[in-house]
Amino acid sequence: MNDNVKRIVFVIASVILVLVIYDYVTDTRQIHQPTWSEFERQIDEGNLDEVTIVSSPEGFARNVKGIYSTDVEGYSRFELAPLSLPGTGEEITNKLRQMDVEIKTEIEEETWWTMLLINSLPILLIIGIWLYFIYRTRKSMGGGGMMGVGESKAKLYQEETPDVTFENVAGYSGPKNEVQQVIQFLKEPEKFDRLGGEIPKGILMVGPPGTGKTLTARAIAGEAGVAFLSTEGSDFMEMFVGVGASRVRDLFERAKELAPAIIFIDEIDSVGRKRGAGLGGGHDEREQTLNQLLSEMDGFEPNTGVILLAATNRPDILDPALLRSGRFDRQITFEMPTLKERRQILSLHAENKPLGDDVDLDEIASGTPGFSGADLRNLLNEAALLAAEKDVDEISREILDEARDKVIMGLQREEMAISEEEKKTMATHESGHTIVAFCAENSDPVHKVTIIPRGRALGATQQLPLEEKKMYTREDLMDRLAVLMAGRVAEQLKLDTVTNGAQDDLRRATKMARKMVLQWGMSTALGNVAFQDSNGNVFLGEEMGHKREYSEETSQKIDQAVSEIIDEATEHARGIMIENEDKLDRLIEILSERETLNAEEIEALMAGEELPPMETEDEDEKQDAEESAGKSETDSIDEEEEEKTETEDNSVAEKINELKGIIEREKKRQENEDAN
């Protein structure tokens, strides 16, 4: 019986039980239960119509029930509780006959199972409730319950294998080529058996979060068309001791039954971390689970058709026994996507999004270095949400830029009130970063600078590299440090004070300088030596048992070397600012006014050019008002000119008419004289 049928049966039984109890309660409430004296009084008053005496097979009266001739206290029926009637019952029978009450007798036969059912009903109800909670517990524990808690919680994709294939995985051509051999083996195992080849038992996918490890695992199953068992590393852990090991055994047994099959364990570092690294010894639940996992991987027969895939972003904390050959034979590294891969990922996620004509995916790809595949998907999704919020039909370049700022720096905090003094300080700090980033020879170009608060930052200076580097020279790193320290230096030069705005800059600069000294051998005082950093131990047990490999004197030299590198970068930034102090002042003034400057505006300012006036809504309204006022004034002048012209025309016409009259009168006078 499957779970759905059990659930239906349980619901039906519960409904019937509730209806029976309800019927019993309501039926009891509709029957009057008088006392014996009340019953005798009702006989004397003639309120009875019918009486039934119920007795046992042995002749003992049990109770009396019947019907009232008129309602008594709102009841039409009555029943006396089970009792032994007084005397033989003849007196009550005679009294009933005298009152012309119809008398009936009834023999009640009781069976043992009826009594058992009545007496055991509360117990059955308690057992039903207990079974219900057991069912809920089993469901919450992945189907095993208290008795099946050791069953694997892996999800099985078999009849319908994952619909993800390599067509849904853009970029990452290297990792995809690596797993092609696995897919070929699952499809054609005899091809490898013929030459005695053994497919790797385990493949470990390593890379930062969001780089497509889980997606690639699903694509492998989709391409191969085999059973796919997917689980999380944390699913093996439970509050009961031994559950993790039991679930590992059950998982591998299911995979062997379904072979060919793929087992995928995501975030394997939660169960496969180094043994003996904690303070509790080697007998905790996690280590027992890991030991069972190691044993199961050793028990794999060659070419059984079961392959273990695992993914992690912390390979440094995995147990060495897990990584040896024969277990995880192959490691596939997933790096952050390159420029070409970012372009492919953007194209894949932009297929169902209407992009504007001004959007260039190549430009977006070059402007998103360090973005993972998940970050790029989120970027386009945020742009689509912003476009919908603005009620436009397509995603423009401006909306994509806004979405990128939101992803990188966080949501704009428009409600934050900033005084003019703080705005000036922020402009000074960010202008320092911008000047040094623009003038330093090995620095990345500045893309944007803003003093509008976003996320946890009050301001930001964005740099976008022209090309992606894998190796950095000491000069590259020193220029980066100079850019980080430039905000603090600008505060000292222009404000003669320092603020807490450089907190993140100092943290990042110190971390980079320590790496230069401890790991990369870039300190002239200490030479080409790499030192173990105690902060690198992620387990307290390892750190307590770790013996430092250098003396206290060397530790002091390391601290001094770190400080010297930061001081050197600080003086480099100071020299650039003093040399370009006029440009720094101009940048502070413009940034305080406009709050945000893009790359073109920054280049224009550094070249000494004037920026076009900033158009605001107030100025646009003022310009419209002035144009309207000018138009009104012109219309008024035109009307006055027309009135003046019309007046002058009327005056000339009057004079002409007057002259005509004089000529006519003179002509008539001359004619009269000639006639005389």
The whole-number average pLDDT for the span 373-387 is: 89
- Give the pLDDT confidence of 419-452 residue by residue, as tens digits: 788 888 999 999 999 999 999 988 888 888 888 8
- Give the pLDDT confidence of 152-188 residue by residue, as tens digits: 555 565 545 556 777 777 777 777 777 777 777 777 7
The token pair that represents 272 in the structure block? 């496969």
Tell me the C-alpha distance between 461 and 434, whole Å: 7
Provide the pLDDT for residue 49. Answer: 78
Tell me the C-alpha distance between 597 and 463, whole Å: 13
Provide the pLDDT for residue 274. Answer: 81
The whole-number average pLDDT for the span 613-630 is: 53
Q: Do 201 and 185 meet the contact criterion of CB atoms below 8 Å apart?
A: no
Fold of 155-333: Rossmann fold (3.40.50)
Provide the pLDDT for residue 509. Answer: 94
- Give the pLDDT confidence of 329-342 residue by residue, as tens digits: 888 888 888 888 88
Provide the pLDDT for residue 147. Answer: 44
Q: Do 428 and 470 meet the contact criterion of CB atoms below 8 Å apart?
A: no
Return the domain boundaries, the chain: 31-109, 155-333, 339-408, 420-606, 621-676
Q: Do 337 and 367 meet the contact criterion of CB atoms below 8 Å apart?
A: no
Binned at pLDDT 50, 70 and 90, residue 73 comes out as confident
Binned at pLDDT 50, 70 and 90, residue 482 comes out as very high
Tell me the C-alpha distance between 306 and 221, whole Å: 12
Q: Do 229 and 258 meet the contact criterion of CB atoms below 8 Å apart?
A: yes
Judge whether residue 564 has pLDDT over 90: yes
The token pair that represents 31 in the structure block? 């029957």
420-606 — its CATH code?
Answer: 1.20.58.760
Higher per-residue confidence, 584 vs 609: 584
- Give the pLDDT confidence of 388-410 residue by residue, as tens digits: 888 888 888 888 888 888 888 77
DSSP string, 540-556: HHHHHHPPPSS-HHHHH
Tell me the C-alpha distance between 472 and 481, whole Å: 13
Range of weakest confidence among 95-104, 494-503, 565-574: 95-104
Helices (H) and strands (E) in the chain, counts: 23, 13
Binned at pLDDT 50, 70 and 90, residue 484 comes out as very high
Provide the pLDDT for residue 610. Answer: 81
Binned at pLDDT 50, 70 and 90, residue 480 comes out as very high
Q: What is the mean pLDDT of the chain?
A: 76
Provide the pLDDT for residue 87. Answer: 47
430 part of the active site: yes
Provide the pLDDT for residue 441. Answer: 87
The whole-number average pLDDT for the span 661-670 is: 62
Other residues' Cβ atoms within 10 Å of the Cβ of residue 386:
18
Range of weakest confidence among 134-138, 251-255, 416-420, 565-569: 134-138
Provide the pLDDT for residue 20. Answer: 64
- Give the pLDDT confidence of 527-549 residue by residue, as tens digits: 888 887 655 555 544 555 555 67
Binned at pLDDT 50, 70 and 90, residue 141 comes out as very low
Binned at pLDDT 50, 70 and 90, residue 322 comes out as confident
- Give the pLDDT confidence of 581-596 residue by residue, as tens digits: 899 999 998 988 888 8
The token pair that represents 635 in the structure block? 């219309």
DSSP string, 206-239: E--TTSSHHHHHHHHHHHHT-EEEEEEGGGG--S
339-408 — its CATH code?
Answer: 1.10.8.60
Binned at pLDDT 50, 70 and 90, residue 577 comes out as very high
Provide the pLDDT for residue 605. Answer: 87
Q: Do 517 and 558 meet the contact criterion of CB atoms below 8 Å apart?
A: yes
Provide the pLDDT for residue 298. Answer: 77
Q: Do 433 and 486 meet the contact criterion of CB atoms below 8 Å apart?
A: yes
Provide the pLDDT for residue 133. Answer: 64
Percent of the chain with pLDDT over 90: 10
DSSP annotation of 454: B
Q: Do 504 and 460 meet the contact criterion of CB atoms below 8 Å apart?
A: no
Higher per-residue confidence, 149 vs 515: 515
Q: Do 251 and 154 meet the contact criterion of CB atoms below 8 Å apart?
A: yes
The whole-number average pLDDT for the span 208-213 is: 85
Percent of the chain with pLDDT over 70: 70
Q: Do 259 and 177 meet the contact criterion of CB atoms below 8 Å apart?
A: no
Provide the pLDDT for residue 19. Answer: 62
The whole-number average pLDDT for the span 353-359 is: 86
Binned at pLDDT 50, 70 and 90, residue 483 comes out as very high
Provide the pLDDT for residue 84. Answer: 47
Fold of 31-109: 3.30.720
Catalytic residue among 223, 430, 491, 601: 430
Provide the pLDDT for residue 88. Answer: 46
Provide the pLDDT for residue 157. Answer: 56
Other residues' Cβ atoms within 10 Å of the Cβ of residue 481:
24
